[in-house]
């Protein structure tokens, strides 16, 4: 089993640093995180993107700290 840190290319992390909050419009229009379709944060390289696109890949449900795994333990590791 191979596992990597995927994160999310639309994570609101930067917008909410130091106690900042999204305004109402941003909150209403921010896309929901869907582990099956969400992009990966490119700043972590190509491995996470490769793993997400691999057949049988499983991704955890955390929008900012999602993990992706491929292999026999993938489901267990990403639950």
Residues 6+ apart with CB under 8 A from 26: 15
- C-alpha span between 72 and 8 (Å, rounded): 24
pLDDT higher than threshold 90 for residue 6: yes
* In the chain, domain spans: 2-78
Q: What confidence tier does 14 reach under pLDDT thresholds 50, 70, 90? A: confident
Q: What's the sign of the alpha-carbon dihedral 7, 10, 11, 14?
A: positive
Cα Dmax for the chain? 42
Tokens 């795994």 identify what position?
A: 69
Q: What is the pTM of this model?
A: 0.83
């Amino acid at each position: 089993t191979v596992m990597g840190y995927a994160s999310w290319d639309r994570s609101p992390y930067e917008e909410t640093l130091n106690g900042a909050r999204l305004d109402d419009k941003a909150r209403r229009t921010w896309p929901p995180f869907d582990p099956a379709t969400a992009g990966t944060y490119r700043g972590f390289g190509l491995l996470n993107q490769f793993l997400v696109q691999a057949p049988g890949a499983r991704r955890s449900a955390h929008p900012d700290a999602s993990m992706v795994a491929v292999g026999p333990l993938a489901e267990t590791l990403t639950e």
